[in-house]
């Protein structure tokens, strides 16, 4: 296997870990915040370095250039491939802009140490392929939100029930898989457990209640960072896609589509902005799953493209809402707030990121959404149209929220509510990526298509899908 | 590439690039919170319109001199996956349909831009208006010149978004905002039909090029490359999309709501260009409509119903802009009938003439009432009212019902609400309540902190700061 020229992944995981230790000793909140931003920025640059280095190699996968911890893990545990190469900078970016847009008054509630720690776990997760290390990282990642809910004195029952089940299914399924002969149909049983775990983590209906509950009770920043990198989708790609037969994946795609429509419908009737965001995210992330589970090259490419666009735009959308919340507290959508005059930049960014998330023309999600619809209609000619309906409903929800928050009789405040410089930089960075990706989509789409092709080849080399192909061939010969 | 091809390519690109550049400039200044001065915005707008109009006129003149009837401007593949035969082909077409529409769009946008410079002078939302105006201008030029259905969709969406945001231009009042939301909702759902039509067309013909769909013949000639049954499927979806955009039956309810926006946007969007965009789409795919008799009948019936209901509704409105908007609907309905009957040139001429007249009427509307008062003062009495005409021969109960029908705007909004919106909201709310019960039960306590969110936290924040 090829090797990167620098230990990018190792460094990108170790820097936030070191940052978590460093901030632990800083007493002054604003200083801790500044230092956290620096650590997140370095991590983001390292993740970008990994992407550039990987692209320059022009291979499907490469392992890290170990220096510091090669005694700890076997060499091929942390491997970057065409799927994860883009996810590492995307995840690091989500953390960077979230920490950048955090007001120092919020630092007592929003744990910077915990955030840096969870960033390290996330980047390690995205650097891992199917292995016990991945299972362990996915299991460990559920702890941080639990601790936050506990420290805030909130009820953790819903979270514990769902995440307990997730970890049980994940560990049980993966353990069972190790004991099963992968060439036989027996693999379907551990596969079902792993699928259940991944769907739980993704919040697929009816296992989505923990996400809405988390958005209710955790800090907005933590909830955004726990849900927008779409770790559940990553679990599907690593643990389920290689072993599941097409019929099973396409059945899950139908369930994901149902979730997308359901969540989009509920987003419209929400009376509070956080909940609206949560359902919107559920709907969009379900659409990503729809594309990935169609297991057609177009659907897979669409799903991978929408993954990037949802990651970018929903993070941006989330931090915009968070910035507004930081100024006026929870935002009711029952009435108009008239905040446009006070925060025109945030209003513009709210609209831009919201529209980008539904694949509006000239934004990063447009082509991905087109591919996704095309792939869905290919597999399910009628049901696939629901993707279009979902996008329409989400569009209605976004403008509804925009009007409720930014229009109405303006309130005169004695303090400035508009974006601060650090928030503006975060917003501009995301805007540049959203619009840049929308205006010049070809490189991104070509790379995602190549990744889709390679993932399809990997799937085809799996024994279970090979036997499926043989059955399909026999069926064609003897109709 | 020959010299003449290079000439066409340069001019064609300039026609589209000019509004794109305007949108980029105004958008960028808004994003970095450095708004341009009124004078700069106005000059940039005028320049963009001029640099779009002049190349189009130059193309027209060249075409007339050389006898060319079809000039494709290929900007290449925006996105392409050759292995899967997926292409997003950016192609613009200058032909007998697109050139008149683009010139119309440029002239009317130029006039309205100049009018708005004074009309909204020193208004707080001046820059916001022109940002939306530039999005609209870009969208309408792209839609008019689109040679593929994907390119048309791109422009179509820009027009929809800018229209909805301009209806809600007066941010501090609730009604315009609610109406803007309504317009956007109708647009989104009809745009969904458009997108499905585009994908269906891709599946049937393997490409999104209008030329391929019309057997590579030049408008207005052309025969459909797909069967009557296929044409019925794609055509019906496109008719739904056109009905949403042109406020045809049963979507007419948004048209009077759209008049809540500032007069210049009402004039250019709902009186002149946006309202004709649906008809323009039908005109572009008119050979497809004529393939299927059922589809043709559907288009004619839709046009007739819209024209009749528009005529009735316009007669009983008390607001001059709303009355004019329904008069527009009547004409658009007639244009759709003409398209259904295959009278393509007549429909095109009708669009151009009607758009000019209606823009003039709508721009004149704000001063009209004042002039009426002055006239009545001069005369010393009321101006003579027009007699109700043939309607007075109808039985009184029918007259009353027609009045109610017109006054309640054809019961269309009420019907849509009762049949679709209310059941949808009811089901979604009941599911939300069910979720609440489940989470409350699992938590053993009220699970939603959001229920206690302040209705107006911004007022509380303001008080705290004070």
Cβ atoms < 10 Å from Cβ of B375? 11
Q: Do A265 and B424 touch (CB under 8 A)?
A: yes
Length in residues, chain A? 479
Give me the residues of B, 232-261, that contact A with CB < 8 A: none
**Are the beta carbons of B251 and B190 closer than 8 angstroms?**
yes
Q: What's the CA gap between A199 and A205, in Å, rounded?
A: 8
- A residues 287-346 closer than 8 Å to B (CB): 297-298, 301, 327-332, 334-342, 344-345
Residue A41: phi and psi, rounded to 5, are -65, -45
A400, A268 contact by CB (below 8 A)? yes
What is d(CA A372, CA A414) in angstroms, rounded to the nearest whole number?
47
* Tokens found for residue A174: 């993966």
Among A216, A338, A371, select the one facing B450 at the smallest CB separation. A216
479 residues of chain A, pLDDT tens digit each: 688 888 888 899 999 999 999 999 988 888 999 999 999 999 999 999 999 999 998 888 888 776 666 666 666 677 888 888 999 999 999 999 999 988 877 777 888 999 999 999 999 999 988 788 999 999 999 999 999 999 999 999 999 999 999 999 999 999 999 888 766 778 888 999 999 999 999 999 999 999 999 999 999 999 999 999 999 999 999 999 888 888 888 888 889 999 999 999 999 999 999 999 999 999 999 999 999 888 888 999 999 999 999 999 999 999 999 999 888 888 999 989 898 888 888 899 999 999 999 999 999 989 999 899 888 888 887 777 889 999 999 999 999 999 999 999 887 776 667 778 888 888 889 999 999 999 999 999 999 999 998 888 888 777 666 666 555 555 544 44
A159, A213 Cβ separation under 8 angstroms? yes
| Residues B11, B61 contacting (CB under 8 angstroms) | no
pLDDT of residue B460: 62
Give the number of residues written for chain B: 466
CB within 8 Å: A411 and B462: yes
Do residues A335 and A404 lie in contact, with contact meaning Cβ atoms separated by under 8 Å?
A: yes
Cβ atoms of A156 and A150 closer than 8 Å: yes
- Chain B nearest C-alpha distance from A266 (Å): 6
**B318 interfacial to chain A (CB closer than 8 Å):** no
Partner-chain contact A428 B32, CB within 8 Å = yes
Asked if residue A263 lies in contact with residue A332, where contact means CB atoms within 8 angstroms, the answer is no
**Closest residue to B199, CB basis, from A334, A373, A412:** A373
Residue B263 confidence (pLDDT): 81
pLDDT tens for A79-128 read 888 888 999 999 999 999 999 988 877 777 888 999 999 999 999 999 98
Nearest to B453 among A330, A344, A348 (CB): A330
Report the Cα–Cα distance between both ends of chain B, in Å, rounded: 69
In terms of CA atoms, which chain B residue is nearest residue A218? B449
The string of DSSP codes covering B119-157 is: HTTT-TTHHHHHHHHHHHHHHHHHHHHBSBHHHHHHHHH
Closest residue by Cα to residue A58 from A90, A86, A78, A82: A82
Distance CA A433, CA B214 (A): 38
Contact A441 B79 (CB under 8 A): yes
Closest by CA position to A145, among listed A220, A34, A90: A220
Helix (H) or strand (E) holding B74: strand B71-81
A133-167 pLDDT, tens per residue? 999 999 999 999 999 999 999 999 999 999 999 99
Q: Please write the tens of the pLDDT for every residue from A354-394.
A: 999 999 999 998 999 989 988 888 888 777 788 999 999 99
Residue in chain A nearest B31 by alpha carbon? A345
Chain B partners within 8 Å of A264 (Cβ):
none
Are the Cβ atoms of A411 and B80 closer than 8 angstroms? no
How many C-alpha atoms does B34 have within 13 Å on its Cβ side? 5
A425 touches chain B (CB under 8 A): no
In the numeric block, the tokens 């303006």 are attached to A410
Cβ separation A158–B79 shorter than 8 A: no
Find how far residue A47's CA is from the centre of its chain. 16
d(CA B173, CA B178): 9
B31/A428 Cβ within 8 A: yes
Inspect the interface and report whether the beta carbons of B171 and A272 lie closer than 8 Å: no
Chain B from 420 to 459: CB within 8 A of any A CB: 424-425, 427-429, 431-432, 435, 438-439, 442-445, 447-450, 453-459
Q: Which residues of chain B have pLDDT under 50?
A: none
In whole angstroms, how far apart are CA B366 and each of A400, B100, B267, B320? 30, 29, 11, 9
Phi, psi of A458 (to 5 degrees): -60, -40
Q: Give dist(CA B275, CA B205) in Å, integer.
A: 29
Euclidean distance between CA atoms B120 and B142, whole angstroms: 27
Q: Say which residues have a Cβ less than 8 Å from residue B350's Cβ, sequence separation at least 6.
A: B331, B334, B335, B338
């Amino acid at each position: 296997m090829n090797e990167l020229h620098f230990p990018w992944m190792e460094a990108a995981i170790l820097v936030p870990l070191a940052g978590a230790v460093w901030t632990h000793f800083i007493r002054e909140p604003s200083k801790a915040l500044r230092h956290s931003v620096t650590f997140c920025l370095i991590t983001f640059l390292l993740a970008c370095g990994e992407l550039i280095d990987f692209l320059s190699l022009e291979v499907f996968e490469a392992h890290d250039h170990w220096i510091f911890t090669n005694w700890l893990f076997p060499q091929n545990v942390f491997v970057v491939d065409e799927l994860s190469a883009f996810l590492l900078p995307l995840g690091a970016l989500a953390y960077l802009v979230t920490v950048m847009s955090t007001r120092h008054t919020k630092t007592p509630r929003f744990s910077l140490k915990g955030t840096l720690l969870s960033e390290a776990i996330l980047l390690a997760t995205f650097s891992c392929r199917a292995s016990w290390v991945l299972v362990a990282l996915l299991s460990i990642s559920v702890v941080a939100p639990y601790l936050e809910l506990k420290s805030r004195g909130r009820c953790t029952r819903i979270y514990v029930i769902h995440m307990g089940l997730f970890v049980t299914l994940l560990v049980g399924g993966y353990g069972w898989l190790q004991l099963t002969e992968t060439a036989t149909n027996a693999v379907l049983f551990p596969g079902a457990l792993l699928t259940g775990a991944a769907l739980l983590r993704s919040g697929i209906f009816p296992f989505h209640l923990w996400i809405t509950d988390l958005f209710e009770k955790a800090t907005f920043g933590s909830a955004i960072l726990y849900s927008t990198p779409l770790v559940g989708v990553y679990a599907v790609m690593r643990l389920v896609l290689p072993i599941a037969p097409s019929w099973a994946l396409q059945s899950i795609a139908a369930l994901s589509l149902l979730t997308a429509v359901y969540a989009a419908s509920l987003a419209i009737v929400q009376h509070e902005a956080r909940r609206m965001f949560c359902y919107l995210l559920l709907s969009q992330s379900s659409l990503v799953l729809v594309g990935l589970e169609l297991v057609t090259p177009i659907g897979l490419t669409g799903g991978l493209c929408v993954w990037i666009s949802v990651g970018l735009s929903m993070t941006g959308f989330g931090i915009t809402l968070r910035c507004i919340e930081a100024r006026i507290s929870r935002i009711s959508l029952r009435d108009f707030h008239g905040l446009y005059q006070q925060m025109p930049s945030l209003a513009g960014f709210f609209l831009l990121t919201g529209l980008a998330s539904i694949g509006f023309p000239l934004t990063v999600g447009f082509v991905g959404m087109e591919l996704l619809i095309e792939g869905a209609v290919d597999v399910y000619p009628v049901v696939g149209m629901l993707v279009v309906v979902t996008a329409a409903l989400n569009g209605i929800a976004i403008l509804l929220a925009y009007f409720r928050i930014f229009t109405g009789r303006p309130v005169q405040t004695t303090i400035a509510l508009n974006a601060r410089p650090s928030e503006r930089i975060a917003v501009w960075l995301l805007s540049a990526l959203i619009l840049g990706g929308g205006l010049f989509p070809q490189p991104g789409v070509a790379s995602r298509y190549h990744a889709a092709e390679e993932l399809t080849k990997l799937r085809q080399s799996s024994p279970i899908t090979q036997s499926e192909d043989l059955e399909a061939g026999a069926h064609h010969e003897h109709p | 590439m020959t010299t003449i091809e290079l000439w066409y390519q340069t001019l064609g690109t300039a026609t589209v690039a000019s509004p794109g550049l305007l949108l980029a400039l105004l958008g960028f200044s808004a994003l970095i919170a450095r708004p341009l001065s009124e004078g700069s915005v106005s000059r940039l707008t005028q320049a963009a319109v001029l640099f779009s109009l002049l190349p189009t006129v130059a193309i027209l003149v060249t075409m007339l001199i050389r006898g060319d009837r079809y000039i494709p401007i290929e900007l290449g593949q925006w996105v392409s996956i050759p292995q899967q035969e997926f292409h997003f082909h950016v192609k613009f077409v200058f032909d007998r349909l697109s050139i008149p529409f683009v010139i119309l769009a440029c002239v009317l946008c130029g006039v309205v831009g100049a009018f708005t410079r004074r009309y909204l002078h020193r208004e707080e939302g001046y820059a916001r208006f022109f940002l939306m105006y530039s999005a609209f201008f870009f969208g309408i030029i792209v839609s008019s010149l689109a040679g593929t259905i994907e390119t048309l969709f791109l422009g179509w969406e820009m027009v929809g978004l800018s229209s909805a945001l301009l209806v809600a231009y007066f941010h501090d009042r609730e009604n315009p905002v609610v109406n803007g939301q309504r317009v956007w909702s109708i647009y989104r759902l009809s745009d969904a039909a458009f997108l499905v039509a585009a994908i269906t067309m891709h599946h049937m013909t393997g490409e999104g090029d209008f030329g391929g769909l019309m057997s590579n013949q030049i408008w207005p000639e052309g025969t459909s490359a797909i069967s009557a049954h296929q044409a019925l499927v794609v055509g019906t979806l496109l008719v739904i999309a056109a009905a949403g955009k042109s406020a045809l039956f049963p979507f007419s309810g948004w048209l009077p709501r759209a008049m809540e926006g500032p007069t210049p946007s009402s004039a250019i969007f709902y009186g002149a260009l946006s309202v004709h965009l649906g008809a323009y789409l039908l005109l572009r795919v008119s050979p497809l409509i004529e393939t299927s008799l059922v589809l043709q009948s559907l288009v004619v019936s839709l046009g007739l119903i819209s024209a009749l209901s528009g005529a009735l509704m316009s007669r009983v409105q008390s607001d001059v802009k709303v009355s004019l908007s329904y008069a527009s609907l009547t004409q658009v309905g007639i244009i759709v009938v003409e398209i259904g009957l295959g009278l393509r040139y007549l429909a095109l001429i009708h669009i151009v003439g009607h758009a000019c007249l209606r823009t003039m009427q709508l721009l004149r509307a704000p001063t009209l009432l004042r002039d009426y008062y002055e006239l009545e003062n001069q005369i010393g009495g009321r101006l003579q009212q027009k007699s109700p005409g043939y309607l007075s021969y109808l039985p009184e109960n029918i007259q009353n019902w027609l009045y109610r029908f017109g006054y309640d705007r054809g019961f269309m909004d009420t019907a849509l609400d009762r049949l679709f919106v209310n059941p949808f909201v009811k089901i979604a709310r009941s599911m939300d309540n069910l979720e609440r019960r489940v989470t409350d039960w699992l938590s053993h306590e009220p699970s939603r902190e959001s229920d206690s969110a302040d209705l107006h936290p911004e007022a509380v924040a303001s008080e705290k700061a004070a």
